[in-house]
Amino acid sequence: MAEFTLELNDDQKQVKEWLHGFAADVIRPAAAEWDEREETPWPVIQEAAKVGIYSLDFYAQQFFDPTGLGIPMAMEELFWGDAGIALSIVGTGLAAVGVLANGTEEQIGTWIPQMYGDADDVKVAAFCSSEPDAGSDVASMRTRAFYDEAKDEWVLNGTKTWATNGGIANVHVVVAVVDPDIGSKGHASFIVPPDTPGLSQGQKFKKHGIRASHTAEVVLEDVRVPGHCLLGGKEKLDERLARARERAKAGGERVKNAAMATFEASRPAVGAMAVGTARAAYEVALDYAKTRSQFGRPIIDNQGIAFQLADMRTRIDAARLLVWRASWMATTGKPFTSAEGSMSKLYASETARDVTAQAIQILGGNGFTREYPVERMHRDAAIYTIFEGTSEIQRLVIARTLSGMPIR
């Protein structure tokens, strides 16, 4: 039996140090500027592409780490640098994963390279799922896809919202309803190629935090895409829809649980992002408390400050362990019998929110100004309790899993 260890291996340590160096030397010095500009940090993305961080190969290597720790380790280090810029770097990965999970080999080889471009001409991609009236309630999705058999084209109509890179992406991956009678199992994903008529950017959101990440609505008006842009192909879709209809007749709850398991597996990555932001704020607060003197001694000499820092570090380490456990379980195929994915995302996101607020308090008036980064980190941290399922949704998932009851 293999010896139990929480220590990273040599390869993981090297990757971690490399990412930390990029975050410290490239991301963090640019963070305040792009937060103020509220624009996509194209020069930083290009630098990430030059060194190999902004690429499918890099994320594939981390994803296939047999310990499951590659992705959470990478997310923590990049988001330690800055959440807004890091999300601009990793946002394309959401669309790429959608293609990898559902696409054919030909679709993967055709579209993913177009999502990233190259170091001389970087591109981004957008994953479009959320809608104005269907956030956590995926069954209420209204975007429709109709198959025009005569032309072998799919026609998409609807509005997507909260789309990272929405409207500025080279490639959009759009989730749409093809059969409204079977809930989320009646959804399918489509590639919308560059410059497709009918797709336009709607409102660009001016956000409280993660301002360097472009977030916008995507409007689809009679968007026609070739039949081969249906991820997985029509034959596979027809087979899946037929199975889902039979399952729905036998008992819809089983279908719902299968969809829930998919979301569970992706949530630890968001938890790792939150851990990175929390750790960054804690380190700023610790350094400040050691060097800031009042009444003739460093403020960390006061128990009121020292105990806060002790609690902050304890929560960060606990959050990381929950994230690592869930990531390991997902990679090794262990079932989330207690909604461990949601647990990790819930605890880490609320830790980031609370730790960044405590960091502001420790810095006092300085923490409330933009001269120090904890103000920005606190604004950024607010997103973690909202996207990829709010804290309330995570608690609902956990409670339902533990109890087996349809808690509402």
Q: Which residue has the tokens 């959101």?
A: 205
User: Residue 273 and residue 83: Cα distance in Å, rounded?
Assistant: 8
User: Residue 385 and residue 383: Cα distance in Å, rounded?
Assistant: 6
* 388 is known as an active-site residue: yes
Which of these is catalytic: 217, 340, 375, 388? 388
What does each C-alpha distance from 200 to 96, 160, 191, 281, 403 come to in angstroms?
Answer: 21, 11, 15, 37, 44
Q: How many Å separate Cα 190 from the centre of its chain?
A: 20
Those residues with Cβ within 8 angstroms of residue 77's Cβ, 6 or more apart along the chain or in another chain: 16, 19, 20, 23, 276
Q: Which residue has the tokens 């709850």?
A: 253
Going by their DSSP bridges, the two strands 297-298 and 215-226 should be labelled as unpaired
Q: How many C-beta atoms lie closer than 10 Å to residue 332's C-beta?
A: 10
User: Residue 167 and residue 264: Cα distance in Å, rounded?
Assistant: 28
Q: Residue 124 in contact with residue 169, Cβ under 8 Å?
A: yes
Single out the residue of 71, 77, 87 nearest to residue 35, CA to CA: 87
Active site residues: 388
